[in-house]
Amino acid sequence: MKKSACIFLVGVLSAAVFAQSQKQVIQKGIEYHNLAKTESDGYAAKCRETLQPYIEKDMTARAYYGSAITLQAEYCSESNPVHALDLLREGSAYIDDAVKRDNANPGLHILRLVNGMQVSESSPFKRYAVLKDDTVWLSKKENLSGLDNDTLALVYLYSGLYKIEEGDIDSALDLFDQAAAISPGSDTAKAAQKMTARYEE
């Protein structure tokens, strides 16, 4: 009995350790994703490499893996736009699939909103259909509970950018004001203020 209890405990502990280490690895992959700026820094490739083992089990890993592919698309958009389009489609498919499989996760909707706006503005690959769903989903208060102020500011900023695309300037300006108010001094707030200045004189 003791032996089986020990085995069970060891099993639980190793599963916990494994889960902890998986979480850490995914977190590391997300850090690489957030650091990626140029191809030469290699972070987008490192992000993909790090997250690749987890993309079937963890939807956050899958979404960031997709987002890293879209970052790589940006690197080759000038030299090989056809390949860039291919990467954008591939990356966006991973993100869409992650959102579909874990639809209640606000982080995935936010990632898709931010990524989709950037992709739509800087490529012929338009993501406005899914962005509309995300802004509607993120406009519901119950879906935003538990998010910190910086993340909320990001939601307001990108929802505002989408509203501009829709031609609803008043709603966009309201959202930019909310973004600036909820996280004063942050980069997101500065970007929101910049957008407000652009549309007000």
Partner 1 sequence: MKRFICVVLFILIFSLASAEDRTAAISTIKIFIDDTEFSWKRQSEKPQLVTGDEPVITAETVISFTSLRPEKKMTRSALEREVNQTELRLDDSGYFYSAKAVCIQSRKEPENMIVIITVKSGFLWRFGGGNAYGVFGKSCIDGRRLQVLGYAGWNKNGASVLYEHAFDSPAILGSSLFWDGPASLCTSDGTAPGTSGITGICTPGFFITPDIRFCTDIIGRVDFSSGFAEDSFCISPFAVCSKFFSRTLTSVSAAQAYFYPCIEQNPFSGAEIIASINWTPVRYVTFAFCTAGGLSPENNAHTFNLNWNTAYTSSNTVFENRIIRSGYKPNELTVEKYLYASFEARWNMADFLLPPAFNVRLQPFVFTDAALFDRTVRDAFGGGLRILFDNPVFAYFTFCYGVNHEGTGRFCFTATKGF
Residues near partner 1 (CB under 8 A) are: 77-78, 81-83, 85-86, 89, 120-124, 164-165, 167, 169, 198-201
Which of 46, 112 has the CB closer to partner 1?
112
Cα end-to-end span (Å), the chain: 77
| Closest to 88 measured CA to CA, from 100, 103, 75 | 75
Q: How far is the CB of 70 from partner 1 (least distance, A)?
A: 14
Closest distance of CB 124 from partner 1, Å: 4
146 vs 167 by CB, closer to partner 1:
167
Q: How far is the CB of 19 from partner 1 (least distance, A)?
A: 37
Instruction: Tell me how far, at minimum, the Cβ of 95 lies from partner 1, in Å.
Output: 17
In this complex, which beta carbon is closest to partner 1, that of residue 151 or of residue 196?
196
d(CA 93, CA 113): 14
Q: What is the smallest separation between the CB atom of 157 and partner 1, expressed in angstroms?
A: 15
HSE (side-chain half, CA atoms, 13 Å) at 33:
24
C-alpha torsion sign, points 98, 162, 38, 197: negative
176 CA to centre of own chain: 19
SS3 94: helix
Which residue, 118 or 143, has its beta carbon nearer to partner 1? Answer: 118
- Pair 159, 110: CB distance under 8 Å: no
Which CA distances in Å does 106 have to 83, 125, 189?
30, 24, 20
Instruction: Name the residue nearer to partner 1 (CB basis): 50 or 120.
Output: 120
